[in-house]
Amino acid sequence: MTKADLIDEVSKFANLTKKETETIVNTIFDNITEALAKGDKVELRGFGSFRIRHRNSRKGRNPKTGSSVDVPQKRVPFFKVGKRLRELVNA
């Protein structure tokens, strides 16, 4: 499902225009993104939680040349599946 598909489904279900629904969906995604950028955890009960994980710096290898490269530390988004979603997917 794409973002456009999600907007279509929500607009049908909520009896809203696609433009109104797009604004709502974008607001939700923007708020999740902003919270993660600040380092906050976002929890959607039954669905899952988003949080930031820290990756330490390490030595990597350039696959093309085989030479060693330094990979800097970074923060990456991480999603942990909620119990209800896991059960529905595995049913």
Domain containing 21 — which CATH number?
4.10.520.10
- Residue 69 sits in which domain range? 3-90
CB atoms within 10 A of CB 39: 10
For residue 46, name the pLDDT band (cuts at 50, 70, 90).
Answer: confident
Q: What is the pLDDT of residues 65-88, one digit of tens each?
A: 999 999 999 999 999 999 999 999
Encoded tokens for 1: 């499902």
Q: For the whole model, what pTM was predicted?
A: 0.78
Instruction: Please tell me the total count of domains within the chain.
Output: 1
Give the CA distances from residue 85 to residues 18, 23, 36, 42, in Å, rounded to whole numbers and listed in that order.
27, 26, 21, 16
For residue 91, name the pLDDT band (cuts at 50, 70, 90).
Answer: confident
Q: What is the pLDDT of residues 53-62, one digit of tens each?
A: 999 999 999 9
Report the amino acid identity of residue 1: M
pLDDT of 10: 93
pLDDT of 39: 92
Is residue 2 over pLDDT 90? yes
Beta carbons of 55 and 73 less than 8 angstroms apart: yes
